[in-house]
Structure 1
Amino acid sequence: MDPAGPLSGILVVDFTRVIAGPVATQTLADLGADVVKIEHPAGGDDTRGYRDPEIAGQSTFFMAFNRNKRSVALDLSVPEAVTVARDLVAKADIVVENFSAGVMAKYGLDYDSLAALNPRVIYVAGSAYGRDGAYRSRAGYDPVVQAESGFLSLNGFPDGEPVRTGIAMIDVTTGLGLVQACLAALIHRERTGRGQYVEVGLFDTALQMCLHFGMRHLLTGETPTRVGNSSPGAAPNGTFRAKDGPFQLTVAGDRVWRKLCQDVLGRPELVDDPAFATGAERAANKDALHRVLDEIFLTDTRDRWVEKMRAMKVPAGPIRTVAEACESPEVKERDLVRRAPCTGVGQVPVLRSPMRFEKTPVREPFGVPALGEHTETVLHDLLGYDAARTAALRAAGAFGTKR
């Protein structure tokens, strides 16, 4: 087994902020890339200021999206700082940014400028509504894009208002799309020797996330509606309440339905009930079916029902809080919570990457950087700057207030 990750040797210059971009660069870092995060000296990434909650002055929000990176503080309004950024890009494999349209060009760090400097560089941009067209300058955040794309209309219960997802799902999915773009562009560069410009938009991603609901509308003209925790095409599928708490049950197909009725519920007659005999009939009679199951499930505890279902390969699980999930046997079995050093805080628990590689394991987490923690190290080790040059940059205000 090679202890180096699959992206070992890949240098990423990271101009991202908030969620979508940092999700992308954190994933690249987990895969072994050397990610150098460029931050403004006065506060850094916006999420460093999200102080609810915080640990020893560090934002837990920032910590969630920025492990395994090195932080370099540069004030890009200072020409000398832009020179440093360009020197980094000259050595980089990938640049990732998610600023508003025109910001990178203002500093001479747009794709055309950087490709002239380094034709092999892969420039990956995250945007709200695209970098061209009529909406390129419109501000966009996850909740707004959820609303405008129709994604939000699909979440919640039929008799209630649309509900945004508790997690910034479009941001996260866009971030993973940026990772896919990076990897595909790396393969293209391996074949051709040339980098390229790649873009992934929040709105585009949100519409794609409507998936079969979007396709249903395009093909039939129907407007899909909210179904709560159930499914429009399969039953029983949803949240059920046992004697002491709720659980989620998903039955997909007649074979699992028979197992549920015969081996778990002890009600084989339900299999032969004409209203429930096929998947289409169960879906059409979902409300009646769920009423029957509701009465049955109230006769025993949640854990007993879930245990029986799991024993018979019927997919079911308790509805947990995040706290319960983090302490669950599944987390312990998969070793999903590790410990890593965090500057100014000490050893902290962090979530492990979900990816597993046989020969090139993902990087063990080495923590979350303090703002500008690695500025001098990166300039010395990657760029070969000596102490005198670094001091001159500091005096010019490249790293913040002039001294």
Structure 2
Amino acid sequence: MGQQEKVATSLAGAVSEEISASLASVDAELERRYPGDPGTRQPVHTVYVPGDAFAAGTIRSWGDQALAALDEHAPDAASFAAVLGLSDELAEPVYSRVRAKLEREPIEDLRVDFEDGYGAHPDADEDATAARAARLIAQAYRDGTAAPYMGIRMKCMEAAVRDRGIRTLDVFLTGLIQSGGLPEGLVLTLPKVTYPEQVGAFVRLLEAFEKAHGLDAGRLGFEIQIETSQSILATDGTATVARMIQAAEGRATGLHYGTFDYSACLGVSAAYQASDHPAADHAKAVMQVAAAGTGVRVSDGSTNVLPVGPAAKVHDAWRLHYGLTRRALARAYYQGWDMHPGHIPTRYAAVYAFYREGFEQAAARLARYANHAGGDVMDEPATAKALSGYLLRGLDCGALDIAEVARLSGLTRADLEGFAAPRRGDLTASAK
């Protein structure tokens, strides 16, 4: 050991104390507004099923239809890889995992739709359909056939349909309570939000329901659908979506981009309404920045090109859907909508290829970071967070197995979760 370095300071301790006191309110505001990602599983997609079409066997039916589409149009790994342009290395692991997923868990997130996909029905019919949805979802969670996440999309808070939407939500939630309680995977979706005040009104509605049933405050969260230009840019030039997140008072769980309503709102011709249109990219970029650090997740929209008909048309639709999904993943939209059973093979193919083609490098980089081993890339805590988040998402959806991740990284799932959720101050420190 060499001679101990002599350390001198010039500032009294009171200076630091005074600065800390002056920033106390800012510290509290940071913790309140930007708590970070919740660390829970995010589904890779949301499937919308009209309320009158939803049945006890819907999830299994979608899986069976998706498997049948593979059997007819891509019966083996080589043919599926040829359609999508998968490498020889990825072809078999992606195909086998897609088939296994469709057999085991074909849908990760299902929304029984009482809005556009359902339309206008007599009040008595919608009441009965909402009550039936509650009964079927409660039963699915009891018998183990539910998707990890399930819920409804009600009608919006605009005057023409507000009362109907409120009643449908009340009937549905009351039915769940009467069937044994609210499931952990419950998700509610509020569509066509234009003003933050509509979000605030929805919060009051959920508060009233919680009080009526003695539920913990904040038990009910919800997603906000971004489907109008006003939800991105307000008349005063501010980002409305950021104000919506704050108006939700911690209850917002996601922002879902509505491809076709938003495109139509901007006057985009029907032939060009797509999730990769420049208008869509702008809206989703604003959503992404507004949600960053808040714990609110973003979701891409959907394609309305269905993989149906002769093989050539199915293959074209598959390639389109696969490409849009891969594009979204690269832009950190880890969730999207699927509108047809034929979409879910390419949803999982895109997701699995995305994680499998990069997990070896990600695991090796994270291992070097964890072991302070250096390498050809100088990673910092923020990068370690991104690397671990990438691996955890791959594990959650079935693209990766913990055994292969542990073999390459030397890390357990608990280790990955620790890197994925560092303390706020750790992200400003350099890696050692």
Q: TM-score range by the shorter chain?
A: under 0.3
Return the structure number with greater relative CO, CA threshold 8 A, min gap 6: 1
| Higher-strand-fraction structure | 1
In the superposition, the TM-score normalised over structure 2's length comes to: 0.25
| Higher-helix-fraction structure | 2
Choose 1 or 2 for highest CA Rg: 1
In the superposition, the TM-score normalised over structure 1's length comes to: 0.27
